[in-house]
Structure 1
Amino acid sequence: MSADVAGPEAVARPGSGSDRPRPSRFGLPTATALVVGSVIGTGVFGLPTALAAFGPVSLVAFVLVSIGALALALTFGALAKRISGSGGPYVYAREAFGEFAGFLNAWCYWITAWAGNAAIVVALVGYVEVFVNTDHQVGWSIVIALAGLWIPALVNLSGLRNMAVTQIVFTVLKIVPLLFMATVGLVFVKSANFGPFNASGTSIGGAISAAAAIALFSYIGIETASVAAGRVRDPERNVGRATVFGTIGCAVIYVLGTLTVFGTVPNDALRETSAPFTAAANAIFGGQWAGQAVAIAAVVSGIGCLVGWTLIIGEMPMAAAKDKLFPKAFLRTRRDIPSFGIISSTVLASLLVVVSYTNFEQVFTTLVLLSVFTAVVPYLFSAAAQLYWLLVRGRKAEWPHLVRDCTVSILALAFAFWALAGSGYQAVYYGVICLLLGVPLYIWLKVGQREYGEVKS
């Protein structure tokens, strides 16, 4: 690992959100692991069940969504070449559209990160309870969930090197069983298990759109390398590569893994199970041991995902705080890690977990949907920022390249709008309210800086 994490001699390049030296940086392997680890959490282990109601036509939707996600990954890579500092979507929106747009992106993404961590850890508890607390006592479930949140926080607070090592190890541990199912598992696929191509009862177009609305959510996190760009060695080169490599790797696992599950578990049975990969493993190997192995992989996957997202919940607000667009408390660090951002956000996630286990299930579900909405808004602004830059300051003499890059940006923008539509009317309605709740904070920050002059009585 020593080759992947640079020492104190590594100095950040100048740029927004990264204007001071960084004692340590990580390279391409850790950046790629950060992307894969943040995208693939516990949700992938239940995804085939959610898509089973549509039948194999959902695989078409998954391929289309994967293309859109790749376009967005290429967009983030291109933006990282122009702006190499930490902050990702926040920095891109601020540079293109001004401070207020940048603030709204930082606010949205921060909500996404800590609310999403709460969702991940609640799903993680279900797999842990395959082995302990099998009678699902609420008190112990809360203890397990809180441990699942604070262990990744402590890993991050112990230093960037420990975080990098942990992220790579956990990413490998969770990718191996999933990749096994997505490759060797294909040998056991039987066409009779697929059922009707379109099992939704609607038109093929309607089924693809509905399935895509679910599949779209599977790629949240492809931007994480750009958010932590200030900590990546040679970010102009490595952020884009890590984002694209990570997205392609996730797409292969998602599509082939879902194909394997569809082909090894009968469609009727798949609709009823809450652990589709477990059912597929048991169908392939027989007995229950394979399913338990998948449960272990899901636990590892969830912890690895939380390690990556815990870094992100500190990086995004710290980048905004450096530009005085978030409270200055988020600038506090420990061992060059954004300690205040990590601790405060983990506290919020912990409170949300406790709420979710005290008979407010619907509130928690709604907040999870809001976290999806607040993730897609920064995606949209990032794609718009790239398109804006290409049209205003693009390489006008190189028309083939300009047309290609504009096409990718437009596709990424369409992908973001598609994700917004897929989140549902209720999530969009409450998401806009949640978005605008940041406006009073923005006013408070600006008044404190007195940028618009003294207020006369």
Structure 2
Amino acid sequence: MSHAPAPSGASKTDASSGPGAEDDATLGLAQATALVIGGVIGTGIFLLPATLAKYGTISILAFGLVSVGALLIAMIFGKLGARIPASGGPYAYARDAFGEFAGFLTAWSFWLTAWIGNAGIAVAWVGYVNYFLHWDSTLGKIVIALVGLTVPAMVNLSGVKNMGAFQLVTTVLKFVPLLFVAIVGLFFIESVNFGPFNAEGGSFIDALQTSAALVVFAYSGIEAVAIAAEKVRNPEKNVALASVYGTLACAAVYMLSTIAIMGTVPNAELQNSTAPFSDALNNMFGGSAWGGVMAAMAIISGVGALNGWTMLVAEMPYAAARDGMFPAAFQKMRNGVPYVGIMVGTALTVIVMAINYLWSEDAFETILLMATVTTVIPYMFSAAAQLFWLVTRERTVDRADLAKNMTIAIVGFAFTLWMVYGSGADAVLKSLIMLLLGIPVYIWVKASRNEYGPNEVMHDASGKAVGTIDSTTGMDAGKHPGEWPPPDGAART
């Protein structure tokens, strides 16, 4: 297969372009895969089976469909990551395909997702810590959450190697027990526990759509290694492998554990459960000591997820800032990490967390639905970027391979549209408003760089380009001021 020349937008975000790029590439395949798994599997999986139980076993079908969609997106990240092994992932892909404004919107959308999502992880994490501490006052919960957010921030600020090692250890500690439940639980399944296929009794499509929407945010994080590509050794190969391996591992533990829990805990009991994994283990082995075991697992899982997402909340704006799309402060480095992004992202997460506890915990559920929509937008741009490349730039002699890649890109794009629709009109509207709030930031950043829009191209009467007008001066960019105006018959476009 032969390809077109390197994409024009890759020059600013190429993995080899930044100073010390080789020194930063300290994540091997195992650590890169752990970054994906650690980013995807947080605290949500420990409650998700109970949330899905009220929809019946149709939610297992929805889980399967979303898992396939997530895998398609991961494969798209792999293809794009091999072509553009740049920090920023979806941001770099959108910028290369559709220009800097699309790149900015992608970076802004992901940045919103990252620090809002971290607040959600922190809030859920507090609940499991309080299984042991019982600090149930508002102040006590805020203090616990601050510890949960500060520890990952300090680990990240200490350097990429420490962050990678911490991520690998926490991923193993949380993934192995979850996999144990997923596999061993299959031997204790009783069909009577599953309950009806469509428990709510309404439309099949509506039930499938709603339960699928609940699953979507659980897969947020599959883009983790693509965003941190410059921290990965041999990114052209390992970004693709880590994305697919990590997503497959998460899909396996998600699907198997959900089936195991639904088959070991009666449906009516599961709907009201606050610790479905603990209930499943109690039913499998008897006793009531498993609650502490699962709480400890959730604590490890949560801090591991926060560790990975703290890195991602800084990496995306770092890549955008290096291209002039975010404030320049976000590209400042220390110990091989963009420390300003880590500190700003952590501070914003703390604010959202505090608002949740001080005002309305119910309101925070709406914020999480908004985060689902902002999660999807970078996926959508990435699928569109892959499709754009295949249609406009790919030169291939293998029609079967081209058809396969086109199918993956088209179905992946359709999947993102389905996810947006499933989030509901209210969440989509509020997410759109948050996305549009980024436009003044874009204007401010461009103005601070004395960039006030694209240059205008002059064409003669036959349509041939004859010059470029500098948008800041109104004069021919290729001539001295005295040589203006343009030739007779030239038009500005």
Match for residue 82 of structure 2?
A: 81
Match for residue 393 of structure 1?
A: 393
CA displacement, residues 190-209 of structure 1 (integer Å, 9 cap, x when unaligned): 11111122212123333222
Match for residue 200 of structure 1?
A: 200
1:214 aligns with 2:214: yes
CA displacement, residues 116-149 of structure 1 (integer Å, 9 cap, x when unaligned): 1001000000001000025x11111100001100
- AA aligned to 2:428 is V
Matches within 5 A, 1:39-438: 39-133=40-134, 136-438=136-438
Asked whether the equivalents of residues 153 and 346 of structure 2 are also in contact (C-alpha less than 8 Å), the reply is yes
CA displacement, residues 19-64 of structure 1 (integer Å, 9 cap, x when unaligned): 2123232110010000000000000000001110111121111111
Q: How far apart in 2 are the matches of 1:367 and 1:208?
A: 23
Q: Shift of the alpha carbon at 1:274?
A: 1.5
Q: How far apart in 2 are the matches of 1:266 and 1:360?
A: 32
- AA aligned to 1:333 is M
Query: Which of 375-384 and 444-453 deviates more?
Result: 444-453
Query: Which of 72-81 and 49-58 deviates more?
Result: 49-58
Q: Under a length normalisation based on structure 2, what TM-score does the superposition of the two structures give?
A: 0.88
Q: How far apart in 2 are the matches of 1:296 and 1:168?
A: 17
Q: Secondary structure at the match of 2:131?
A: coil
Q: Secondary structure at the match of 2:202?
A: coil
CA displacement, residues 174-233 of structure 1 (integer Å, 9 cap, x when unaligned): 001100000011111111111122212123333222211111221111001000001100
Asked whether the equivalents of residues 12 and 322 of structure 2 are also in contact (C-alpha less than 8 Å), the reply is no
Q: How far apart in 2 are the matches of 1:127 and 1:331?
A: 35
Query: Which of 57-66 and 203-212 deviates more?
Result: 203-212
- AA aligned to 1:305 is A
Q: How far apart in 2 are the matches of 1:427 and 1:378?
A: 17
Asked whether the equivalents of residues 126 and 144 of structure 2 are also in contact (C-alpha less than 8 Å), the reply is yes
- AA aligned to 1:243 is S
Q: Shift of the alpha carbon at 1:237?
A: 0.3
- AA aligned to 2:297 is A
Q: How far apart in 1 are the matches of 2:338 and 2:57?
A: 44
CA displacement, residues 279-330 of structure 1 (integer Å, 9 cap, x when unaligned): 1111112222112101110110000000000000111000000000000000
Greater Rg over alpha carbons, structure: 2
Match for residue 441 of structure 2?
A: 441
Task: Detail structure 1 runs of 4+ shifted over 6 Å in the superposition.
Answer: none
Q: Secondary structure at the match of 2:133?
A: coil
Query: Which of 91-100 and 216-225 deviates more?
Result: 216-225
- AA aligned to 1:143 is V
Q: Shift of the alpha carbon at 1:454?
A: 4.3
Match for residue 27 of structure 1?
A: 28
Asked whether the equivalents of residues 49 and 276 of structure 2 are also in contact (C-alpha less than 8 Å), the reply is yes
Asked whether the equivalents of residues 17 and 87 of structure 1 are also in contact (C-alpha less than 8 Å), the reply is no
Aligned pair in 2 of structure 1 residues 206, 370: CA closer, same or farther (>3 Å)? Answer: closer
Percent same amino acid at aligned positions?
49
Asked whether the equivalents of residues 15 and 84 of structure 1 are also in contact (C-alpha less than 8 Å), the reply is no
Q: Under a length normalisation based on structure 1, what TM-score does the superposition of the two structures give?
A: 0.95
Match for residue 10 of structure 1?
A: none
CA displacement, residues 400-448 of structure 1 (integer Å, 9 cap, x when unaligned): 1111000001111111111111111111001111101010111111112
Q: How far apart in 2 are the matches of 1:190 and 1:204?
A: 24
Aligned pair in 2 of structure 1 residues 455, 272: CA closer, same or farther (>3 Å)? Answer: farther
Number of residue pairs aligned between Structure 1 and Structure 2: 443
Q: Secondary structure at the match of 1:131?
A: helix
Asked whether the equivalents of residues 216 and 372 of structure 2 are also in contact (C-alpha less than 8 Å), the reply is no
Q: How far apart in 1 are the matches of 2:14 and 2:370?
A: 27
1:16 aligns with 2:13: yes
Asked whether the equivalents of residues 55 and 194 of structure 1 are also in contact (C-alpha less than 8 Å), the reply is yes
Q: Which runs of no fewer than 5 residues in structure 1 stay unpaired?
A: 1-12
Q: Secondary structure at the match of 1:221?
A: coil
Q: Shift of the alpha carbon at 1:397?
A: 2.6
Q: Which runs of no fewer than 5 residues in structure 2 stay unpaired?
A: 1-9, 453-470, 475-493
Aligned pair in 2 of structure 1 residues 307, 259: CA closer, same or farther (>3 Å)? Answer: same
Q: Secondary structure at the match of 2:358?
A: coil
- AA aligned to 2:30 is P
Q: Shift of the alpha carbon at 1:17?
A: 5.4
Q: How far apart in 2 are the matches of 1:274 and 1:14?
A: 50
Asked whether the equivalents of residues 265 and 280 of structure 1 are also in contact (C-alpha less than 8 Å), the reply is yes
- AA aligned to 1:35 is V
Q: How far apart in 1 are the matches of 2:368 and 2:194?
A: 30
Q: Shift of the alpha carbon at 1:361?
A: 2.2
Query: Which of 249-258 and 201-210 deviates more?
Result: 201-210
Q: Secondary structure at the match of 2:335?
A: coil
Q: How far apart in 2 are the matches of 1:405 and 1:372?
A: 26
Asked whether the equivalents of residues 15 and 83 of structure 1 are also in contact (C-alpha less than 8 Å), the reply is no
